[in-house]
Amino acid sequence: MVTRRQLLAASAAGGAAVLVPAGGAAGRALAAAAPLDAGEIPKYVVPLRIPPAMPAVATGPERDEYVIAVRQFRQQILPPSWPRTTVWGYGSTAHPGSFGYPAPTIMARVGRPVRVTWVNQLVDGRGDYLPHLLPVDPTLHWANPPGGPAGRDRHGHWDGDPLGYRGPVPQVVHLHGGHSTQESDGHSEAWYLPVARDLPSDFAVTGSTYREFRSRFAEGSGLRWAPGSATFEYANDQRSCTLWYHDHSLGLTRENVYAGPAGFYLLGGGDDLPDGVLPGPTPARNDPPNVRYHDIPLLIQDRSFTADGDLLYPDARSSHGDVPPLWTSGFSGSAIVVNGRTWPTLTVQRRRYRFRLLNGCNSRFLLLSVAAHATARPARPVLPIWQIGSDGGLLPEAVPHERVTLGPAQRVDAIVDFTDVPAGTELYLVNEGPDRAYAGGRPGVDFDPADPHTTGQVLRFVVTDAAGADSSVPPEQLRLPSHSRLGPAQRVRRLSLNERRSGGSMIMLLGVLDERGRGLPLRWSDPVTEQPTLGDTEVWEVRNFTRHVHPVHLHQVQFELLGRGHSGRSRPGPGDRGRLDTVLAYPWEVTRIKAHFDLPGRYAWHCHLLEHEDNEMMRPLNVLPRGGAAAGDGGSPSGAVEPETVSTDAG
Ligand SMILES: [Cu+2]
């Protein structure tokens, strides 16, 4: 009997063969559940897709305006002639052809606001709601629309369905790294369901903070959010940098992001270097076809597939006690997807390229290098990755790396110089991060690197002769703009990352320290402890009491990393000396950061391992107006506020 897999392999080898489903309905059902062996997916048979610029609906004198929806569609993620994959993605409602995974890139300029109406259009052709593509655990502290207005944003109930919650799906978009006001930040409890014909009448259609933020936005703009949507405005009053946007709904961000909706938001202008100094261009609105791009965003993600080409994410893990039945503590996909395609190829000329590297994985850490051999380990880097920027903008100086470490949600703005590579050479972007939870250390010494035949590979470069002169400045000669450091801090906060057994499973929790300096874990719903005063600068000392590295993300701010190590006084590496919105907190270390809070209101800080974030590893971050009551602030032992000393300015 010919198996479906053999059929798939045959059709892949034969080019444009038509895919014939194997067997009848029963066969299909079995095949749907069967995972696809990622080792059978041919690599480097498709070109890298470069997301185009998001079309605007208006570019008036005041701001750029967009109407961007999330929709469900099928896309070729596996190689041609393999099955297409049902995904979600964003696009402009005025341009139906713009929908994609990843989404088109929002091109913004410093000082020029962008207003986006985000629309939840997860409905089918009849206007009925679409259920989630992936299992959703309704027992976590999550959006919980079935709870109605009284029970939303709380723990829900599981009826035993192996796919969990099958109702309409909440959405709310967060611009990651954006200096956004609270009503535009994509607060996890500001979600909204799609407008659908069949919404159950007893469901909550919006999260518990939606109405408040809708009022605030209307006060400021005179514009009221329509049902099934939210309009956010981004002031773009921060340094030029590489941001990204993705869903942030309470307790189901991991599935919502895994299903596909994510895109880049490139903020240019401001302190950017003059045109032509760095490699370019990157896609712009209204580009003619066949433009050659030398500034390329790379969204790197891991995904698993079924034999039918659908996304695969772990389901029922446990069915006893008070263990969340469908939640998994971490996820490692079996295939690498770059800009929405498995293992693509990029033909590069003998010149310099700028790559905006983004780790968009749920839990996977990437250790990236450019090597001549795809599978040799340890990888032997043959070209440096010159880091020119981090999350929040350009670094003080360009830093050559043999290997770049990229935790989930982090960005590295990089230059790779192919000028001296002979035409015809093939090089590989390889990954030596682990196929499991990351605890730091060196690949091949402290942990096994990712499977060199699958997740250990990312992208192939094929070098060709240059078609024209490269006017960009070699990275070793770049002079990057200088920036002042944040001023002295008014407060030091001692915080913790903790492991706790909850029911039958181990979960990770943020928290403060108790009077003896031990971690005191707190959940999303516990009293708010992180309440900086508006206009204050604070040092946060985050003690990691777990065995794992956690990427800690603060909303609103781009912070400085002051130190790491046992005491938090070890100077950060040169790649960490710019501004960050997500910092890696290593096991048993103190990660010291400094942030300035200049927007009032309700925000969050959380671990960006999405499985952790969704199961309580998130806490409120509320910025109080000056003179407001800071009740419940347990950030320092015994409530005492330690004055900032000059030593915290070091680094
Ligand atoms: Cu975590």
Digit-coded pLDDT (tens) for 311-328: 999 886 655 556 788 888
**What local confidence, expressed as pLDDT, does residue 321 receive?**
59
β-bridge pairing 537-544 and 491-502: parallel
Compute the average pLDDT of residues 35-44: 97
Q: Of all residues in the chain, what percent carry a pLDDT higher than 70? A: 90
Collapsing DSSP to helix, strand or coil, 48 comes out as coil
Asked if pLDDT for residue 4 goes beyond 80, the answer is: no
Report d(CA 407, CA 403) in Å as an integer. Answer: 13
CA–CA distance, 78 with 90 (Å, rounded to integer): 20
Mean local confidence (pLDDT), 335-344? 98
Q: How far is the CA of 464 from the centre of ligand 1 (A)?
A: 42
Distance 544 CA to ligand 1 centre (A): 10
Nearest to 106 by CA among 247, 352, 362, 297: 297
Average pLDDT, the chain: 91
Residue found under tokens 């990712």? 450
Q: Is the pLDDT of residue 166 over 60?
A: yes
CA of 19 to the centre of ligand 1 (A): 41
Checking if the pLDDT of 519 tops 80, the result is yes
| Residue 410 pLDDT | 98
**Residue 331 Cα to ligand 1 middle (Å):** 12
Q: How close is the Cα of 291 to the center of ligand 1, in Å?
A: 41
Q: What is the mean pLDDT of residues 138-145?
A: 97
- Collapsed DSSP state (helix, strand, coil) of residue 42: coil
Burial (0-12, 13-18, 19+ Cβ within 10 Å), 284: middle
The pLDDT of residue 249 is above 60: yes
For residue 353, pLDDT beyond 60: yes
Q: Is the pLDDT of residue 13 over 90?
A: no
Q: How far is the CA of 611 from the centre of ligand 1 (A)?
A: 8
Q: How many CA atoms lie within 13 A of 352 on its CB side?
A: 21
Percent of the chain's residues with pLDDT above 90: 85
pLDDT digits 0-9 by tens, 455-488: 999 999 999 999 999 999 999 999 999 888 999 9
Mean pLDDT calculated for residue range 93-121: 98
Encode burial over 487-498: b for 16+ CB neighbours within 10 A, e otherwise: eebbbbbbbbbb
CA 256 to chain CA centroid, Å, is 11
Range of lowest pLDDT (284-293, 338-347, 638-647): 638-647
Question: Distance (Å, rounded) from C-alpha 550 to C-alpha 582?
Answer: 10
Residues 160, 163, 169: CA angle, nearest 5 degrees:
115
Cβ atoms within 10 Å, residue 625: 11
Tell me the per-residue pLDDT of 359-395, one tens digit each, with 9 for 90 and over: 999 999 999 999 999 999 999 999 999 999 999 999 9
Tell me, in angstroms, the distance from the centre of ligand 1 to residue 243's CA: 21
Collapsing DSSP to helix, strand or coil, 575 comes out as: helix
Measured distance CA(646)–CA(216) in Å, rounded: 39
Calculate how far, in angstroms, residue 187's C-alpha sits from the geometric centre of ligand 1: 19
pLDDT of residue 251: 98
23, pLDDT greater than 70: no
Check whether 15 has a pLDDT greater than 60: no
| Confidence at 25, pLDDT banded by 50, 70, 90 | very low
Indicate whether this model's pTM tops 0.85: yes
User: What's the 230 CA to ligand 1 centre distance in angstroms?
Assistant: 29
Those residues with Cβ within 8 angstroms of residue 588's Cβ, 6 or more apart along the chain or in another chain: 544, 545, 566
414 phi and psi angles, rounded to 5 deg? -135, 155
Which pLDDT does position 374 carry in this prediction?
98
When pLDDT is cut at 50, 70 and 90, the band that residue 161 belongs to is confident
**DSSP, res 133:** S
| Predicted local confidence at residue 646, as pLDDT | 30
Which residues touch 142 (CB under 8 Å, ≥6 apart)? 136, 153, 155, 156, 249, 250, 251, 252, 614
- Examine the pLDDT at 2 and tell me if it is beyond 70: no
pLDDT of 545-588, one tens digit each?
A: 999 999 999 999 999 999 999 999 999 999 999 999 999 999 99
Q: What is the pLDDT of residue 634?
A: 38
CA 607 – ligand 1 centroid, Å:
5
Q: pLDDT tens digits, residue range 403-439?
A: 999 999 999 999 999 999 999 999 999 999 999 999 9
Distance 504 CA to ligand 1 centre (A): 18
| Residue 203 CA, distance from chain mean position | 29
Rounded-to-integer distance, Cα 98 and Cα 121, Å: 14
Please report where in the chains the tokens 């309704």 appear, as a residue: 138
Does residue 642 register a pLDDT over 90? no
For residue 199, pLDDT beyond 90: yes
Question: Measuring CA to CA, which residue among 74, 78, 2, 76 is closest to residue 37?
Answer: 78
Residues that place a CB less than 5 A from ion ligand 1: 508, 550, 607, 609, 612
Q: Which is it for the CA torsion 97, 102, 105, 110, positive or negative?
A: positive
Q: What pLDDT, on a 0 to 100 scale, did the predictor assign at position 567?
A: 95
Say how many Å lie between the CA of residue 501 and the centre of ligand 1. Answer: 15
Provide the CA 285 distance to its chain's centre, in angstroms: 24
Quick one: pLDDT at residue 18? 29
Q: What is the mean pLDDT of residues 484-512?
A: 92
CA of 295 to the centre of ligand 1 (A): 31
Distance CA 257, CA 361 (A): 9
CA 328 / ligand 1 centre spacing (Å):
13
User: Does the pLDDT value for residue 3 go beyond 70?
Assistant: no
Q: How far is the CA of 448 from the centre of ligand 1 (A)?
A: 20
Ligand 1 centre and the CA of 508: distance in Å?
6
Residue 483 is predicted with a pLDDT of 86
Q: How far is the CA of 637 from the centre of ligand 1 (A)?
A: 23
Separation of 570 CA from ligand 1 center, angstroms? 22
pLDDT tens digits, one per residue of 593-610? 999 999 999 999 999 999
